[in-house]
Amino acid sequence: MPTIGFVYPDHAAEDDYPLAERMLGDGTALPVEHIYGTDLHAVPELLDLGSPTRLSEGAALLGKHTPDAVVWACTSGSFVYGWDGAAEQAAGLSEAAGGVPASSTSLAFVHAARALGLRTVAVAASYPDDVAELFADFLDHGGIDVVSAAAADIDTAAEVGELPPERVVELAVSHDHPDADALVVPDTAMRTLALVDEIERRLGKPVLTANQVTVWEGLQIAGVTRTYDGLGTLLRTGGRR
């Protein structure tokens, strides 16, 4: 089975990745290496966090794991670069990682929505309004219609990582929209993997969360084709890019 490496910013909800490794249960390895910057949800800081220099540092740290694919596990640190910039960012990460396939959480959201045939989504974001708007614009550029976008106005990733499970579920279900085919919950700083199935049961529709789509994207670009239970409709149905 493959090794899929994740470059993760600072510390918040990185324990979702060893949890995912256990939930996959097929020997797929999901090592995480950290890069560091200011964890403020503000555009200048996010541009710095996702810079080529920092991602190259992350790729170098992952080298000891000999990954078959790598993913920049940060939503805001990828969509803040815009559609073309996120593609360039992923290409640069691939080059820094020795040419293995690479992607990011923002690109993963679009690929996952397309794989499930989703046309409209509601967004339940932890970010301030201006950053949440950039994410909605990114999805729109990817052909995904955002029918509603809520922003919880949480300033830092560290604060998001401290949200208890019941608050995460409430934040998600309270910001659904009846016209949305699915609910999207960005921010890899939010622990969601253990909650995706519960939120889907509450809403009766697919739910895409940051750490979930990041793991799925890594599996996709590593060539894994099997399906998995416990991680929402996306992995259960084996949606394909």
H or E element in which residue 207 lies: strand 207-209
What average pLDDT does range 196-220 have in this prediction? Answer: 98
- What span, in angstroms and rounded, lies between the C-alpha atoms of 67 and 61? 11
Hey, is 120 helix, strand or coil?
strand
Average pLDDT over residues 138-162: 90
Q: What is the mean pLDDT of residues 14-22?
A: 97
Sequence spans of domains, the chain: 4-108+211-236, 117-209
Residue 196, pLDDT > 90, answer yes
Nearest to 79 by CA among 186, 6, 193, 209: 186
Which pLDDT value is given to residue 37? 84
Q: Give yes or no for residue 183 having a pLDDT over 80.
A: yes
Residue bearing the bigger pLDDT, 202 or 44: 202
Please work out, in degrees rounded to the nearest 5, the angle formed at the alpha carbon of residue 212 by the alpha carbons of 82 and 172.
85
| pLDDT exceeds 90 at position 157 | no
**Token duo for residue 86:** 């996120």
Q: Check for a shared fold between 4-108+211-236 and 117-209.
A: yes
Do 127 and 186 form a contact (C-beta atoms < 8 A)?
Answer: yes
C-alpha 66/C-alpha 28 separation (Å) is 13
Structure token digits, residue 137: 């614009």
The matching CATH number, chosen from 3.40.50.12500, 3.20.20.370, 1.10.1370.30, 2.40.37.10, for 4-108+211-236 is 3.40.50.12500
For 232, the 3-state DSSP assignment is helix
pLDDT value of residue 240:
66
Name the pLDDT band for 31 (thresholds 50, 70, 90).
very high
Residue that wins the pLDDT comparison between 49 and 107: 107
User: Please, which pLDDT band fits residue 188 given cuts at 50, 70 and 90?
Assistant: very high
Look up the CATH architecture of domain 117-209: 3-Layer(aba) Sandwich (3.40)
Give the pLDDT of residue 225.
87
pLDDT tier at 40 (50, 70, 90 boundaries)?
Answer: confident
pLDDT band at residue 241 under the 50/70/90 scheme: low
Q: What is the pLDDT of residue 156?
A: 82
Rounded distance, CA 93 to CA 176, Å? Answer: 34
Grouping H, G, I as helix, E, B as strand and the rest as coil, residue 9 is strand
Half-sphere exposure of 201 (CA within 13 A, CB side): 8
